[in-house]
Structure 1
Amino acid sequence: MSQERRQFYRVEKNVALEVQRVTADEVKVSLQPAQFEVSPYFELISEVQEIDKLQDDLLHQLNDTNPLLAQLFKLQAEKLHLITRTLANSGLKIEKLTKQSINLSEGGMQFLAADEHYQVGEFLAIKLVFSNPLLGVLLYAKVQRIIQQGQETHIAVSFYRMPENCRMLIAQRVIQTPPERIENAD
């Protein structure tokens, strides 16, 4: 990824995170990692988010011609969101995930390595679960830098072959972050 495409902002996000090493061959097999155990709720949330984007455009158009009908559809969507979030909160498995604050941009992230030792150029499979609203993404990444800060080791990765739906979901998380938690990427 080019330096100018480093994605305007980097934000601090609290997430649940699971990281596994993968080979270059594993990364070539699919756009999203299959190494993680995920519940059907994990994928349900992502699919509902994608449908919401399409629905929002249509609702804006409908609101111009028939505001009452648009309001009805918005209420139906809110009801569906409530059901989806409730299902996801009760069934999303995050036992193996480490909860931590990451530095996130649309193109990559930095996280605390804990007791793991990574190498620059190494490929990783990443499972990220955001809260409020609950959302999970599965991504591949490539280690770009290893940053030693006192006793802590932070790993900077760039997302690798990221599916467009995941890019859009992460971009939303970055954009929706309150201004006091945003840093310029310069």
Structure 2
Amino acid sequence: MSANNVTQSEPAAAKWYQQFWPWFLIVLPGIVVIASIVTVVIALTHSDNLVRDDYYKEGLAINRYLAQDEAALAMKLVAEGQLSKQGFIQISLRGNSIPLHQHLLLNWQHPTDENLDFQTVLLRDGSHHYSAQVKHDIDSRWYLALSPYDDGEQHQWRLKVEFDAKNSANFIMHSQSSNRETQ
């Protein structure tokens, strides 16, 4: 046979779905879509509780907080607290013309998880000495706010401090100027 008569068969072109590049170009946007859906699901199921929902109520309470801070500053209040390993807390108040209260309220605010926030009511066991048993795990950092807790009476003053129970069992709360910033 002659070489001219032999037809060279060309390889048949593979179908598009058998090629690598079309699938590569389809998979990349597909991964982005799936990752976006997962991100939306995570965002909707795990809401960020660091942001307060009740801005209006917080706005109304700012003046009350400022008045409490100024009242504590006028009385030159200082609270010294000590926490035992068994969870027993003792607080002593010092200052000018401190009214005697039967109870004090200590608010424990966790810096990242509001579900861990709680309150402790301290009972007076001396002239200006108060104590209570804390029934929560407090082995972390907290924002503490101390104020009077008497039935039917507005909180007249407030002391605040940041307390890290891992580093120290003692804390001191000084009366401070509010500087128009509150918690």
Fold agreement, TM-score > 0.5: no
Higher strand share: 1
Q: TM-score, normalised on structure 2?
A: 0.21
Higher helix share: 1
Q: TM-score, normalised on structure 1?
A: 0.21
Structure number with greater Rg is 2
